[in-house]
Amino acid sequence: MRSTLFATLLFTTFAPAQDPDGPPSLRIPAFSGYAHPDADAVRRDSDTGAVKECRGELRFYVQFAAKGLFHARLLRRPGATAPIVLMVEEVPAASFVSKEATPSADQTDVEIGKFGLSAGMHMLTLKTADGSPLRGIDALVLTGPAVAGAHTLTVERRNASSVHLAYDAPAEHKDDIEWFACECEPTTDPLWTYYMATGWHRGYFGMQVNSPTERRLIFSVWDSGDEAIDRQKVAADDLVQLVKKGDGVVAEGFGHEGTGGHSHLVHDWQLGDRIRFLVHAEPDGTHTTYTGWFQHLRAGKPLGAAGWQLLASFRAPKDGKYLHGLYSFSENFSGANGDQLRECRYGPVWLRTRGGEWLYVRSAKFTHDGHGKQWRLDRAGGVDGQRFFLRHGDYATADMPYGTRLELSTPTGPNAPPPLLPQ
């Protein structure tokens, strides 16, 4: 959703139809595997989804419904003759079993062996015994009683599901929330993660890991209208306009996830730091100006200037409202490492009405995207002391039902509302 569009779902083929009189069987496409230790060290065939080459290991994850046995076979392209190892390991790491098979050059269906396991999540790791790259891998096929009711990823999108916290303003203030503040403290920071703190009906503001050397703060506001891809097609009276931006901030338009005004600041936040995000709404007739500020806290103290730092301000047409639809989320925007844990704490969360009353947010509703409904069940939210948290992406987190209510134990905020508001 943010700066990188999710990968297109190129392959949605399930396992071939099963023989109703035969044992249960599960076909796991090669394209659903994760390369390790380098998530980018894999080449896939864009037409078939086969793994042309993987330097290192290729990992798959299967949730087995019951204890039992299965036979494993590897479907492959002819050519490579390096011995193939399949390791089956419990998640979280506990016991594992591995077996090895050596294919002939022209062999396309390679019997690996029989495995016994307990119910639960397991990681299936393919590699070569001599450390050479895996080549020409089409699929793993598991057959046997243990496969009955098993769940695994069989689509190309390997992203962790997106998870959200929806905040409710008191009914009497649902239309007059002028300020929205939330602290964000990541406890993991894998590449291609966006921890969004202060989202609302018209935009979002949070922190992102873009590369091994670059991190960003991102504040964006959507245009009016229903154009999803090309901002050049948006009518002039539907375009968000930049009002101002902070020092060093890049501001430009965006598309492919709706369209709008985007701003970001390359900013070197680290684990253990907190970023305090603040969004302000200023309605003016049929327009609203939305402005985002932040404070970087390390060891509980602001870095640099003690006051708020401006990211950007955008004027949104066809609006005229205060803040509503308030939420936070965590997103894995590239699926190459969609099996890595993402976890972040959110809070305290404060709202301020146009009348000047500060409201401490004590409850949130946990939700997830459609990918989490069907494919990625490793997603949850919760309460950690006086803050909420979101956790997803490691194939070990237990699934939390959509719509679960999360409640902080204290009736009032653990610390004061944000310091003096920006001028």
For the chain, the average pLDDT equals: 91
What are the C-alpha distances in Å from 335 to residues 181, 193, 273?
A: 30, 10, 26
147 and 221 within one domain: no
For residue 158, is it within any domain? no
- 128 lies in a domain? yes
Q: Is the pLDDT at 5 greater than 50, yes or no?
A: no
Domain co-membership, 132 together with 189:
no
What would the pLDDT profile of 172-227 be if each residue is shown by its tens digit? 999 999 999 999 999 999 999 999 999 999 999 999 999 999 999 999 999 999 99
The upper half-sphere exposure of residue 244, i.e. CA atoms within 13 Å in the direction of its Cβ, equals: 8
CB neighbours of residue 382 within 10 Å: 14
Each residue of 379-411: pLDDT tens digit? 999 999 889 999 999 999 989 999 999 999 876
pLDDT at 14: 35
DSSP β-ladder status, 260-266 and 274-284? unpaired
Tens digits of per-residue pLDDT, 346-372?
999 999 999 999 999 999 999 999 999
Q: Structural domain of residue 323, as residue ranges?
A: 163-407
Separation CA 423–CA 421 (nearest Å): 6
The CATH number linked to 69 is 2.60.120.260
pLDDT tier at 48 (50, 70, 90 boundaries)? confident
In the predicted structure, residue 1 carries a pLDDT above the cut 50:
no
Same domain, 81 and 228: no
Classify residue 190: in a domain, yes or no. Answer: yes
Query: Does one domain contain both 184 and 71?
Result: no
Please check the confidence at residue 302 and state whether its pLDDT lies above 70: yes
Nearest to 169 by CA among 178, 159, 157: 178
Condensed to tens digits (0 to 9), the pLDDT of residues 247-300 reads 999 999 999 999 999 999 999 999 999 999 999 999 999 999 999 999 998 877
**pLDDT tens column, 33-46:** 999 999 999 999 98
Among residues 152, 171, 200, the one where a domain terminates is 152
Assigned domain for 421 exists = no
What pLDDT was estimated at residue 298? 86
Residues 146 and 174 in one domain: no
> Is the predicted pLDDT of residue 110 greater than 80, yes or no?
yes
Same domain for 277 and 312, yes or no, is: yes
The structural domain count of the chain equals 2
